[in-house]
Amino acid sequence: MKAIIQRVSKASVTINNKKVADIKNGLLVLLGIVNEDTSDDISWLSKKICNLRIFNDDQGVMNTSIINNKGDIIIVSQFTLHASTKKGNRPSYIKAAKPDIAIPLYEAFIKQVETDLNKKVQTGQFGADMKVELLNDGPVTIIIDSKNKE
């Protein structure tokens, strides 16, 4: 499971000209899933994201998490995170999990983040053509791959 986490001042997701997610202070999480991902990846990645100390404390030092900050999260599925660009100029997405595997893992990840965060998160829609807008705060962008946890 691979995630790109961006600290945002605001972010939104629009599908078919309808805004389906909209937050102010928080995180935008782009999530890519592969066939080998398991519930262990979900649990580990959720805890890592929710506890990342990437928000400023009272002294202006990145020392607090989204939990302490009481910010919001948008989670968006993005199979292109697992693109292979080794050959040619057209990316291959063969590593990305197909929907029958990815959707249940994506939904389980959302539930796990809600549990770890102790609040509802907003999402995009799996497989939809989405327009994602964000104002990256910092900028702060972190890439985490659950396969590199050890």
Q: How far is CA 147 from the centre of its chain?
A: 16
What is d(CA 61, CA 114) in angstroms, rounded to the nearest whole number? Answer: 26
Helix 99-117 vs helix 39-51: crossing angle, to nearest 10: 40
**CA–CA dist 76, 60 (Å, integer):** 29
Residue with tokens 């660009």: 85
Question: Which tokens is 54 given?
Answer: 């990437």
- The DSSP letter of residue 148 is G
- SS3 assignment, position 31: strand
Considering only CA atoms, which of 101, 97, 79 is closest in space to residue 4? 79
Residue numbers annotated as active site: 80
